[in-house]
Chains A and B, each alone.
Chain A
Amino acid sequence: MVVLLGLLTLAVGAGFIGALSGLGGGVFIVPALLILAHVPMQVAVGASMISVVATSAGASVAFVRDGWTNLRVAMVLECATVTGAVTGAYLAGIVPPWVLELLFALMMLQSAYFTVTKAGDSMVPRSDALAERLELGGRIPAETGGTDLEYGVTNVPGGAALMVVAGLMSGLLGIGSGALKVMAMDYVMHIPLKVSSATSNFMIGVTAGAGALVFLARGDVATVIAAPVALGVTAGALTGSRVLPHVNVQALRNLFVIILVLIAVEMGWRALSGF
């Protein structure tokens, strides 16, 4: 019982911090399982991947058409993320744990960089030729009384290439790779930040689902850990998203960056000592 309650507490905490930081529970539950619960990397990755699917399912069942999600962009880019995720999840069964730990450390640093630099929009009014053909542009819902603002989409191949990497990391490390997805859409494809975030949330479940299916079919998910972790992370994430509007996230930003860098150092150290 103590072990089970301990795992549930870790999972709720990871989900809560994941929701407050906007980085998702996977980024925090993998190191928590590895460092605090002393489970092997592959087991932590499998459990985390399931928890990403659960959180995404729990958070966005009601969603689908919130006015911000660009369904067409999501579908085009999901072709890239699913390809990456299936490949990554396949490779996760082959590559040694120290490689996974090193990649995880790098992803932590990317998340820290994203948290620091997440500034604003670099919108373009018109799509480029390919995005125009795919009708990817959209409209931002108007504030009360205003008119909808049209935005264009550019550099679909560049964004898709980064999405393959995001999917690969998701499949290898059991995380949602939301920070990388938002960066690809916002910085490379010039999609407004809020649309990028909503579209990324829609995509995360499908990307992690692709990886989770590989893990489950391979029989590589440790059920006794994945079940409480999935339930705990989802509960923590739902609580976190309720608390979020009442918290000064800006003030917490530095704390998140410090936590991410510390995790990166610890994971990097583990990788290098395991090499």
Chain B
Amino acid sequence: MNDTTADEERILRVWTPIILRTILVAAIILLLIGLLSTAWQHPGYYIERFHRLQKYGHPQYRDTIATLVAASLKGEPRPIMTLGLMVLTLVPLARVAFCFLFFLKERDFTYVAFTAYVLIGLVAGVILGRVG
């Protein structure tokens, strides 16, 4: 694992940070837009939501991505923030995907299998959350 190859350099050192950083910045921008628009446009809504959460807990919102995008485009803060959180979870997903590509490139199939298991586990989490 310590013999650095050119492929490893390219995949791990160059591409991974660029793409992960882009995803992270996109998530932060979405979260900030959502938060700032809530704080400035609907300050009452934020406090009301917070107190409802304290009292009754969180009601489940199982919006589809299409609904979230449509509501975000209308400027609704909650869907914008939810999309931001979803984009944020793409960071670890992308990181594992890069490791998968790296081991595939190295033709190290034992580790391709390990990484594939982790990727499948992450996707299984989404399915389990949807049906659970």
Q: Which A residues form the contact surface with B (CB < 8 A)?
A: 1, 3-4, 37-40, 42-43, 46, 50, 53-54, 56-58, 61-62, 64-65, 70-72, 75-76, 78-79, 82-83, 85-86, 89-90, 93, 134-135, 138-139, 148, 205-206, 208-228, 230-231
- CB–CB B88/A75 < 8 A: no
Which of A53, A65, A76 contacts B89, CB < 8 Å? A53
Which of A65, A72, A79 contacts B117, CB < 8 Å? A79
Nearest-CB distance from A36 to chain B (Å)? 12
- CB–CB B95/A206 < 8 A: yes
Residues of B within 8 A of A223 (CB): 34, 78, 81-82, 85
Residues of A within 8 A of B49 (CB): 224
B13 at interface, CB cutoff 8 A: yes
- CB–CB B53/A224 < 8 A: yes
Nearest-CB distance from B23 to chain A (Å)? 8
- CB–CB B53/A43 < 8 A: yes
19 of the cross-chain contacts (CB-CB < 8 Å) are: A39-B53, A53-B92, A57-B20, A61-B17, A65-B4, A79-B114, A89-B129, A90-B128, A138-B1, A212-B89, A213-B125, A213-B129, A217-B129, A219-B62, A222-B53, A223-B78, A225-B53, A227-B35, A230-B88
Nearest-CB distance from B125 to chain A (Å)? 4
Residues of A within 8 A of B111 (CB): 72, 75
Report the number of A-B residue pairs with Cβ-Cβ less than 8 Å.
193
Q: Could you tell me the distance between the alpha carbons of A53 and B43 in the complex, rounded to whole angstroms?
A: 27
Bits for B1-20, please: 1 = Cβ < 8 Å to A, else 0. 11010001000110011001
9 other A-B residue contacts (CB within 8 Å) besides A82-B125, A222-B53: A1-B43, A40-B53, A40-B54, A71-B1, A75-B111, A209-B91, A213-B122, A217-B127, A217-B130
**A-B pairs, 5 with minimum CB distance:** A217-B129, A209-B92, A82-B121, A57-B91, A219-B60
Interface hits, B79-105 → A, CB 8 Å: 81-82, 84-86, 88-89, 91-93, 95-96, 99, 103
Known contacts A46-B58, A219-B63, A227 near B34 by CB under 8 Å: yes
Known contacts A56-B92, A214-B129, A224-B78, A4 near B118 by CB under 8 Å: no
Which of B1, B20, B82, B130 contacts A72, CB < 8 Å? B1
- CB–CB B132/A206 < 8 A: no
Residues of B within 8 A of A3 (CB): 46-47, 50
Q: Could you tell me the distance between the alpha carbons of A12 and B130 in the complex, rounded to whole angstroms?
A: 31
B73 at interface, CB cutoff 8 A: no
- CB–CB A227/B58 < 8 A: no
Residues of A within 8 A of B63 (CB): 219
Q: Could you tell me the distance between the alpha carbons of A209 and B122 in the complex, rounded to whole angstroms?
A: 8
Residues of A within 8 A of B60 (CB): 218-220
- CB–CB A50/B85 < 8 A: yes
Bits for B44-71, please: 1 = Cβ < 8 Å to A, else 0. 0011011001100110111100000000
Q: Which residue of B lies closest to A138 (CB)?
A: B1
Known contacts A4-B39, A43-B58, A208 near B81 by CB under 8 Å: no
Which of B8, B99, B125 contacts A217, CB < 8 Å? B125
- CB–CB B54/A39 < 8 A: yes
Q: Could you tell me the distance between the alpha carbons of A62 and B47 in the complex, rounded to whole angstroms?
A: 37
- CB–CB B88/A53 < 8 A: yes
- CB–CB B91/A205 < 8 A: yes
Q: Could you tell me the distance between the alpha carbons of A1 and B81 in the complex, rounded to whole angstroms?
A: 17
- CB–CB B31/A75 < 8 A: no
